[in-house]
Amino acid sequence: MHKTTEFVIATPVLASLDIQRSVGFFCSKLGFTKIHEQQGAYGIVSSGSVSIHFWACADRKIAEATGCRVGVRGIEPLYARCVKSGMVHPKAPLAKAPWGSQEFAILDPDGNLVTFYEPADA
């Protein structure tokens, strides 16, 4: 009997030069909840069904070459919050992507590019 596999979730793991700072940023600026924080080792934040993990990294260039995409519902209030905090990447304001989603991006304190998107069918 052949069984199929259904992929159900993906969890980004971002490079962090300071786990405590990364966790604090996502919690205070974006409304995530701290799940785990071990300075110099690993961190986890969560909001709804989304979790973002952080691994301790000493090379900022790694973080600056890393990014992830986070799907949301109700992107406008999040965008307004990020604009107010001055976090929106200057080259990635809220716009409709060629593939149909509304999206914008921020840089976290370590340089990871985090793109928030709302599917066209949301």
Per-domain residue ranges for the chain?
Answer: 13-118
> In CATH, what class is 13-118?
alpha beta
* Strand-pair partners of 17: none
Tens digits of residue pLDDT in 54-92: 999 999 999 999 999 999 999 999 999 999 999 999 999
Query: CA–CA distance from 108 to each of 10, 25, 49, 117 (Å)?
Result: 19, 8, 20, 16
Q: Mean pLDDT for the chain? A: 95
pTM, 2 dp: 0.92
Q: Which of 6, 9, 40, 7 is nearest to 23 (CA)?
A: 40
Residues in the chain: 122
Using pLDDT thresholds of 50, 70 and 90, give the confidence band for residue 5.
Answer: confident
